[in-house]
Each structure stands twice: as structure tokens, then as C-alpha cells.
Amino acid sequence: MLRRALLCNQPTASRRPVCHRGPMPTIKSTLPRRTRWTPTMGARSRDQQRRWREVLAVVLAVNSGATDAIGFLALGGAFTSVMTGNMVLLGIAAAGADGALAVHTGAAIACFILGCSLGTRIAGTPRPDDPIWPPAVTRALAVEGVVLGAYAVGWWLSGAHPSGQLQLLLLVLNAIALGIQSSTVQRFGVAGLSTTYLTGTLTTVIARLTSGHRLRDVAQSILTLLGLIAGAALGGLLAVRAPAWAPLVQLASLGIVLAAAVAVIQPARDRDLRVT
């Protein structure tokens, strides 16, 4: 009987193997379950990325304020992002035959334009299918970081007191950096969002409040303006009292933005793509 049972379970050339009869045993899969995507999850993730973008725009405004203050106080009396102010200063220099001021403001304007062109080439222009934070924005801001890094090295090599041709060179580098930043932010395609030329932002805030909008409707614009003022105050204070530390405000603020873009926004966007 035992031999027969063994033969029944062993396949031979003339005998088919006997299949298991009865219910098959349940095998639990050890593979991780794929997250089921819902529209609510996607909307929540986009809202979080949008809030991060608003916060980082304020940090970029801090960088702009600090860079402008340092340029005006320590790099020849010219701005690095406020081109309206530089145009006025250029006119004043022409009227007063102030050659040094004319050179500095003219160079700042020209190099800001160069930076804007470079930023647009790297970051591109808004597209209908853009994510909240396009990867090209991070690449362009990284290039800005390289330019500011070169400026910081020159600043420290001069003993934090640049003069002559080096002073002009450092002003030029700062103007290029903020030109890149200005055009890069345009890739977001958000009307009124800027981190450099903020006269229009101030005008919009006043117009909306006067026409009956609530304070919460212009909160982002107000925070951006406050970020600019805070950056200018900190950058100006360090440029006068502790010049060796001044470039760190610019490098740190831009570094925070890049770190958040890579460590927070990019993973969130990739996660959305995996579950859709």
C-alpha cells in the first residue's frame, strides 16, 4: 500500500503526476502594497509644495535685500537688483560728471541684463504642464550659487574691503547673480511673484487693501517685502560692522532654498509621479 501511494505521487513516462486536490494554501505576499492614489492626496501634496514655494520666495527676497545693501554700501554705491534705482543714479552721475558712479551703475545694469538672459536660458519659460517647482529652477539657482561663491571668494581675498577693479568685479558678479534669480523666478508663472523688483509688489498690496481685499489676500506679498527689508538690514549691518561675515547672508539664504528644493520639494514631486 505504501509503495502504491509513493508510485501514485511520482510522475513516470506513462503516468501523469497527481495534482494536489482540495483548496490551495494561501500564500501571503511579502511585496509592499502600492499606495492607492486619490485626487485628494495629489491636491494636498501640491498645496504643500505651493506653501514651500511661498516660503522659499521670502528667503530669496532676503538674499536680494542683503545683496543690494552690500552692493550699495561696499561696492561703489550701486544696486545689484534695483535697476530703477540704478537708472536714476546713472542719470545723476551723468548730470554731475561722476565718472566712478556712472561706471558702477552702468556695469550693474549691463550685468543684470546678462544675468537675466542667462537665467532664462537655464530655467526656461512657464509651461502649462509645469510642476509647482520645475527642476530647471533649481538648476538655475545652483548657477546663481556658483556666481555668489566666486564673489565671496573675491570678497574674502580682499580682506572684506574691496576697492578699485576688484570692487567693480564683485559688483558685476552680484548683479549677474540677482539677474539670474530675477528671471528664474519667472519660470513659476505666478503673476506678481518676484524676489527682486518689489515696487510693483508694494503697489499691488496697497491697491488690493484699498479696494477692500483682506490682509490674508496679500500676506505672501507682505512677507516678501519684509524679507527684503530684513535681508537689507542684516546685510547692511554686517557690511559695516562685520564685513567678513557679510557674504554668508547671501550664501546661507540661497543655500537654504537649494537644500529645501532638493530635500523636500523634489521628493514630494517624485512621490506624486510614482503613485499616479
CATH of the domain at 220: 1.20.1250
Q: How many domains does the chain have?
A: 1
What is the C-alpha to C-alpha distance for residues 160 and 173, in angstroms, rounded to an integer? 15
pLDDT, tens only, 68-90: 999 999 999 999 999 999 999 99
What is the C-alpha to C-alpha distance for residues 168 and 80, in angstroms, rounded to an integer? 12
Residue 103: inside a domain: yes
Which of the four pLDDT bands, split at 50, 70 and 90, describes residue 97? confident
pLDDT, tens only, 150-186: 999 999 999 999 999 999 999 999 999 999 999 999 9
Q: Which grid coordinates are listed for 190?
A: 505666478
Residue 125: inside a domain: yes
Confidence at residue 202, expressed as pLDDT on a 0 to 100 scale: 94
Residue 190: inside a domain: yes
Buried b (16+ CB within 10 A) or exposed e, 221-250: bbebbebbebbbebbbbbbeeebeebbbbb
Confidence at residue 191, expressed as pLDDT on a 0 to 100 scale: 86
pLDDT, tens only, 193-251: 899 989 989 999 999 999 999 999 999 999 999 999 999 999 999 999 999 999 999 99
What is the C-alpha to C-alpha distance for residues 155 and 148, in angstroms, rounded to an integer? 10
Residue 213's domain spans which residues?
62-275
Residue 41: inside a domain: no
Residue 27: inside a domain: no
Confidence at residue 2, expressed as pLDDT on a 0 to 100 scale: 47
Confidence at residue 7, expressed as pLDDT on a 0 to 100 scale: 47
3-class state of residue 65 by DSSP: helix
Q: Is the confidence at residue 41, as pLDDT, over 80?
A: no
Which of the four pLDDT bands, split at 50, 70 and 90, describes residue 266? confident
Provide the CA 90 distance to its chain's centre, in angstroms: 31
Confidence at residue 15, expressed as pLDDT on a 0 to 100 scale: 53
Q: Is the confidence at residue 25, as pLDDT, over 70?
A: no
Q: How many CA atoms lie within 13 A of 21 on its CB side?
A: 3
Confidence at residue 165, expressed as pLDDT on a 0 to 100 scale: 96
Which of the four pLDDT bands, split at 50, 70 and 90, describes residue 43? low
3-class state of residue 158 by DSSP: coil
What is the C-alpha to C-alpha distance for residues 188 and 49, in angstroms, rounded to an integer? 12
Residue 35: inside a domain: no
Share of the chain above pLDDT 70, in %: 82
pTM of the model: 0.82
Confidence at residue 44, expressed as pLDDT on a 0 to 100 scale: 72
Q: Please compute the mean of the pLDDT values over residues 27-50 and round it to a whole number.
A: 63
Residue 32: inside a domain: no
Q: Is the confidence at residue 257, as pLDDT, over 80?
A: yes
Mention every residue, 6+ apart, whose C-beta is less than 8 A from residue 46.
Answer: 132, 272
- Is the distance from CB of 176 to CB of 112 less than 8 angstroms? yes
State the chain's mean pLDDT as an integer: 88
Residue 11: inside a domain: no
